[in-house]
C-alpha cells in the first residue's frame, strides 16, 4: 500500500516525530498512512455482517494506526506498513469484540444450527422438521428449542425472517411458532 508522501519525506517525518516529539509530524504520518487503514478495513468488511459499516471499521482502524505510530521503532528497520497492518487489524477486531454482547457459545450454537438446517434443507429439498433438526444435531428437541431461544434472545434480527421449519403435514411454520409456550393449553 503506497502513501501519498514521498519516502524521503516520510523518513523526515519519522525523525521529527520520534526524535523531537513534533506533533505536526505525527499528524502528517497519520494522514500519510490513512489509506492503509482504508485498505485493511475494506478487506475485513467483506467477511462481516452487512450491519457493520466500513466507516466504523475505518474509525477503529485509525485508532490502531495511531497506536502503531506511537509504538513503531524506525531504528529496528521493520517496514512500517507491515508493523501497522497487524495493529490496525487488532484494533478493529478488539472494538468489534467489545461491541458484541452475544457470548461465543451462543454464536457457535447458532452456526451449528444454521449449518444443520442448510444441510437438511438441501438433502430433503424442504425445510426440516424440529425432530429432524434435533436428530442431525445429536440433541433432544428440548435442547434444540433452548438453543433457538438463546439465539432469539441474543439477536437483534428477526429470526422469523431468517428461516422457517416444516410442520409434520408438509407445510411451513415460522421459527417462533416452534418454541413451546409453557402457559399454553395442550390441544
Q: What is the CATH number of the domain that holds 67?
A: 1.10.1740.10
Owning domain of residue 163: 104-178
Is the residue at 56 inside a domain? yes
What whole-number distance in Å separates Cα of residue 122 and Cα of residue 172? 16
Rounded mean pLDDT, 162-169: 58
The SS3 call for residue 164 is strand
Cα dist from 155 to 91, 102, 126, 149, whole Å: 24, 8, 25, 10
Q: Look at the pTM and tell me if it is higher than 0.85.
A: no
The pLDDT value given to residue 158 = 46
Res 162 pLDDT > 70: no
95 and 128 inside one domain: no
**pLDDT bucket at 23, cuts 50 / 70 / 90:** very high
Rounded mean pLDDT, 10-15: 93
Last residue of a domain, one of 75, 99, 123: 99
What whole-number distance in Å separates Cα of residue 120 and Cα of residue 107? 20
Last residue of a domain, one of 53, 76, 99: 99
Is the residue at 1 inside a domain? no
User: Per the structure, how many domains does the chain have?
Assistant: 2
19 and 91 inside one domain: yes
Is the residue at 183 inside a domain? no
Q: By C-alpha distance, which of 161, 163, 164 is closest to 173?
A: 164
Amino acid at each position: 500500500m503506497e502513501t501519498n508522501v514521498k519516502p524521503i519525506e516520510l523518513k523526515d517525518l519519522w525523525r521529527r516525530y520520534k526524535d523531537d516529539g513534533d506533533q505536526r509530524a505525527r499528524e502528517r504520518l497519520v494522514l500519510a498512512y490513512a489509506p492503509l487503514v482504508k485498505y485493511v478495513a475494506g478487506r475485513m468488511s467483506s467477511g462481516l455482517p452487512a450491519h457493520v459499516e466500513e466507516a466504523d471499521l475505518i474509525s477503529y482502524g485509525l485508532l490502531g494506526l495511531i497506536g502503531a505510530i506511537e509504538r513503531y521503532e524506525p531504528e529496528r528497520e521493520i517496514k512500517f506498513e507491515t508493523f501497522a497492518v497487524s495493529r490496525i487489524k487488532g484494533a478493529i477486531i478488539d472494538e468489534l469484540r467489545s461491541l458484541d454482547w452475544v457470548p461465543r457459545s451462543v454464536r457457535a450454537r447458532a452456526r451449528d444450527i444454521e449449518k444443520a438446517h442448510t444441510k437438511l434443507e438441501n438433502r430433503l429439498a424442504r425445510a426440516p422438521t424440529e425432530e429432524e433438526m434435533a436428530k442431525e444435531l445429536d440433541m433432544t428437541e428440548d435442547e434444540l428449542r433452548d438453543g433457538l431461544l438463546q439465539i432469539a434472545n441474543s439477536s437483534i434480527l428477526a429470526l422469523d425472517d431468517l428461516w422457517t421449519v416444516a410442520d409434520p403435514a408438509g407445510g411451513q411454520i415460522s421459527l417462533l411458532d416452534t418454541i413451546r409456550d409453557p402457559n399454553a393449553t395442550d390441544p
